[in-house]
Amino acid sequence: MNTLLLVTLLLPLVGAAGVAVLPDHRQLLAKQLTLGISLVVLVMTLWMAVGFDTGGERFQFNSSYTWIADFGVRFSLGVDGIAVVLIALIGVLVPVVVAASWNDEPTGERSMKAFFAWLLVLETMMIGVFAATDVFLFYVFFEVMLIPMYFLIGSFGGPRRQYAAVKFFLYSLLGGLIMLASVIGLFVVSNNQLGEGTFAFDALRQLEITPGTQKLLFLGFFIAFAIKAPLVPFHTWLPDAGAEAPIGGAVLLVGVLDKVGTFGFLRYCLPLFPDASRFYAPLVLVMSVVGIFYGALLAMGQSDMKRLVAYTSIAHFGFIGLGIFAFTSQAGTGAVLYMVNHGISTGALFLIVGILINRGGSRMIGAYGGLARIAPLLGGAFLIVGLSSLALPGTNSFVSEFLVLVGSFTTQPAFSIIAAVGIILAALYILLMYQRTMHGPENPRLRGVRDLDKRELATLGPLIALIIVLGVYPKPVLDIITPAVDATMVDLGTNDPAPTVAEEGNR
């Protein structure tokens, strides 16, 4: 038993209660408390990532408590190499979001104190969904996570926030209920096979489920995750939610919450339903590759910067889906790293867009122009983040995109080649937006706007540093992820294909 993970999980929730009970006029204290707690959580998540033994057990920092004994439900926590890096990502993004939202004014009736309290609640739920090693507990976090995000969007978002929040909620809830059927199904199968029902992941992945049952159960999980990720055609909630959410909420929504979908593919679909995963792989690959192009083309067609960024994410999730369902360790590791990198880059891109909106008072690209001359720091930061989004070598995203593509080429060459063409479109949507906002003659409306201030530099700085560091030296993170992906491939029963020339032995 190791309680570090448990404490990390509960600390934000306790903090949220503390923030919530503060009197309304102590707004500053509420912010400071939130920032302080999120920084402590950051240290703890990084501590776990550094302390993670790459050659050790699959799940580490385990703890388990009886919860609903009659149904074998346990409150079990533990992280593998995949979960630990995603939890570290949460640790990094939450304080960044707190700092980025520092000067936000409430858009609705609720005070910013509530915003920060919900943020901390959300942090607990996000950590929980990755840390749960009991499928039922995972399901609970998966559903409850919606509540804080619903309030973040619905109470603090843009003009159409109610519509967007409800849409987000209903989509996710629908997916969750379908998943619930599969969760129960798993319980039934385990009850039949083991004589006693269980939700423990380690026990469930030992089950021998008939292919027919696997397919049904797979679909339940898959639909929930495909909505969450989202894969085309389950994506239409995301542009609305991303556009209407407050910037801080959008960063966590796209940066972390959506990863639950792709994480779910890797943690639950592949190991628990290997036959079904192979059966449905072609379908998922098609959805993924379609998403790469669909998301990119739609991103190009947007005039609203927040919607544009949301659509770019749909394209990026296509790459992640491809990486997961190519069934090689390189592609899988690339997909996980992609999740981390996408959280950093797209998070930073949302922050930049937020700063632009703060300066120009509009979400429309057409309201900007020539800003690089007026605000060179903002221009430079935008450029680096944009380059990361289009996966330029030297930035973090290149490593993950390269791994996904090179890894998937060995098993799915056609999909890999088509996806590789998508990198042209990524360059287009980023550079078009950059040119229209930063290049060209100065828009007179923007004359005299401020460049980045110290707080904004402090929020963007760490993310930009990560973009470069993970782009140049990704090895430490890869070393954590790879064993977990290898274990997943073992569950799935696949091996990386050997080089064809070496295999033929005609060297």
Partner 1 sequence: MDETIEYAAATGALSSIWLLVALPLLSAAVLLLGGRRLDKTAPVLGTGVVAVDFVLAVYYVVTLADQSNRAVSLQVFSFIPVNGLQVDAGLLLDPLSAVFILLITGVGGLIHLYSVGYMHDDPGRRRFFGYLNLFVAAMLLLVLGNSFVVLYVGWEGVGLASYLLIAFWYTRPAAATAAKKAFIMNRVGDVGLLIAIFVMFATLGSTQFSDVLGGAAALTGGTATALALLLLLGACGKSGQFPLQAWLPDAMEGPTPVSALIHAATMVTAGVYLIARASPIYNLTQDGRTVVAIVGAVTLLIGCVAGCAKDDIKRVLAWSTVSQIGYMFLAVGLGPAGYAVGILHLLTHGFFKAGLFLGAGSVMHGMNDEVDMRKYGALATRMKITFATFTLGYLALIGFPFLSGYYSKDLIIEAAFDKGGTSGWLLGGAALLGAGLTAFYMTRLMLMTFFGEARWDEGAHPHESPTVMTAPMIVLAFGSVFAGFVLVHVFSLESWLEPVFGAPPEADHVIEPIVVTLLVLVLVAVGIAAAWLFVGRRQVARTAPVSVSAVVSAARANLYGDALNESVLMRPGQWLTRALVFVDNKGVDGAVNGVAALIGGSSARLGRAQNGFVRTYALGMLGGSILVVAALLAVRFG
**Which residues within the stretch 350-379 sit at the binding site for partner 1 (CB under 8 A)?**
370, 372-373
Question: Does the footprint of partner 1 cover residue 169 (CB under 8 A)?
Answer: yes
Q: Which is nearer to partner 1, 258 or 401 (CB)?
A: 401
Q: Which amino acid is at 234?
A: F
Of the residues 474, 484, 488, 494, which one makes contact with partner 1 according to CB under 8 A: 474
Q: Is the peptide bond before 233 cis (omega within 30 degrees of 0)?
A: yes
Whether the CB-CB separation of 87 and 48 falls below 8 Å is answered with: yes
Which range of residues in 88-96, 121-129, 318-326, 421-429 is near partner 1 by CB under 8 A?
A: 421-429
- CA distances (Å), origin 203, targets 76, 133, 186, 329, 483: 13, 10, 11, 23, 20
* Residue with Cβ nearer partner 1 (275 or 491): 491
Identity at 312, one-letter amino acid code: T
Q: Pick from 29, 216, 427, 449 the residue near partner 1 by CB under 8 A.
A: 427
Amino acid letter, 488: T
Is 496 a binding residue for partner 1 by CB under 8 A? The answer is: yes
* CA pair distance 267, 285, nearest whole angstrom: 18
Is 173 one of the binding residues for partner 1 (CB under 8 A)?
yes
- The type of residue at 14 is V
Site for partner 1 in 221-250 (CB under 8 A): 233-237
- 69 Cβ contact list (under 8 Å, min separation 6): none
Q: Could you say whether residue 21 binds partner 1 (CB under 8 A)? A: no
Distance CA 270, CA 332 (A): 11
Among residues 28 and 283, whose Cβ is nearest to partner 1?
A: 283
CB-nearer residue toward partner 1: 176 or 343 = 176
Coil, strand or helix: which one is 458? Answer: helix
Comparison of 302 and 459: residue with beta carbon closer to partner 1: 302
Binders of partner 1 among residues 126 to 165 (CB under 8 A) are: 143, 150, 154, 162-163, 165
- Residue 193: CB partners within 8 Å, gap ≥ 6? 207, 208
Stretch that binds partner 1, among 248-256, 267-275, 328-336, 345-353 (CB under 8 A): 328-336
Which one of 194, 420, 449, 458 is in contact with partner 1 (CB under 8 A)? Answer: 420
The minimum distance between CB 466 and partner 1, in angstroms, equals 17
- Token pair 């072609």 is found at 282
Residues 276-295 that bind partner 1 (CB under 8 A): 294
Cα-Cα-Cα-Cα dihedral sign, residues 345, 339, 257, 130: negative
Q: In the range 69-128, which residues lie near partner 1 by CB under 8 A? A: 70-71
- Give the bridge partners for 134, in sequence order: 200
Interacting span for partner 1 (CB under 8 A) from 8-16, 169-177, 202-210, 443-451? 169-177
E strand residue ranges, 60-171: 60-68, 73-79
CB-based contacts of 164: which residues, under 8 Å, 6+ apart? 153, 154, 157, 158, 237, 240, 241, 243, 244, 245
Quick note: the x/- pattern for partner 1 over 292-321, rule CB under 8 A, is --x--xx-xxx-------------------
Asked if 145 contacts 129 with a C-beta cutoff of 8 angstroms, the reply is: yes
Taking CB under 8 A as the criterion, the residue among 96, 387, 460, 492 binding partner 1 is 387
CB of 260 to partner 1, least distance (A): 18
> Is residue 491 involved in binding partner 1 (CB under 8 A)?
no
